[in-house]
Amino acid sequence: MRRPGPVRAAALAAIAIAVVGGTSAAASAQESIGANQHFIGLVNGSHALPTVDTVCPGPIRQGRRGAVAGGQTLSVAEVVHGRGFTGPLSQVYAWFPPRPGKTPTQFVFDTYGTPQTIPTSVRVPCGGKGRVVFSPCPYLAPCVAGWTPDVVRVQFANIAA
């Protein structure tokens, strides 16, 4: 599966923001995340069931996890009406839910439109559906009232099969 180039990825992100946000305008790239703002999470520039490529050589079995393929990103976009809401906070954290008893690799966003590359050390299911959580509160941390996470449903695709 061919990954989109940076220009095409940016265009796809703009389209995704326009579709998800309706008539909402998205924040400019690198605008600071602030309190009381609506946001959406983007996986590889998309919010609508994006694909996350995995590398899982060998036979696939139920529950198997593997590495995220290189060159994939997470980012956050501000929208007028979105699922996520920062409440009184001014950062957004993102993570793939881990196996029980494990702590996920966590991404911290201080600005909108600034993609972060997902390290190939991150382990996710080799195939099937999953999710990425975008939250103003860190993973499992006690938090203040008034915030809402945005959970992006994703499709995992093994490119080594």
Q: In whole angstroms, what is the distance from residue 3 CA to residue 81 CA? A: 29
| HSE toward the beta carbon, residue 16, CA cutoff 13 A | 24
Nearest Cα neighbor of 126 from 17, 74, 53 is: 53
Q: In whole angstroms, what is the distance from residue 110 CA to residue 113 CA? A: 10
Over residues 91-105, the pLDDT tens digits come to: 999 999 998 899 999
User: Residue 23: what residue type?
Assistant: T
Nearest Cα neighbor of 125 from 75, 68, 71, 51 is: 68
Three-state DSSP class for residue 151: strand
Write down the pLDDT at residue 29: 67
Whole-model pTM: value is 0.81
* 8 Å CB contact between 81 and 24: yes
Sheet holding 92-95, edge to edge: 107-109, 92-95, 128-135, 150-158, 51-55, 65-68, 123-125
| HSE toward the beta carbon, residue 97, CA cutoff 13 A | 10
Strands (E) across 57-140 are located at 65-68, 73-79, 84-85, 92-95, 107-109, 116-117, 123-125, 128-135
User: Residue 127: what residue type?
Assistant: G
pLDDT in tens, the chain (161 residues): 444 444 444 444 443 444 344 333 445 568 999 999 999 999 999 999 999 999 998 877 778 899 999 999 999 999 999 899 999 999 999 999 998 899 999 999 999 999 999 999 999 999 999 999 999 999 999 999 999 999 999 999 999 97
Over residues 28-43, the pLDDT tens digits come to: 568 999 999 999 999 9
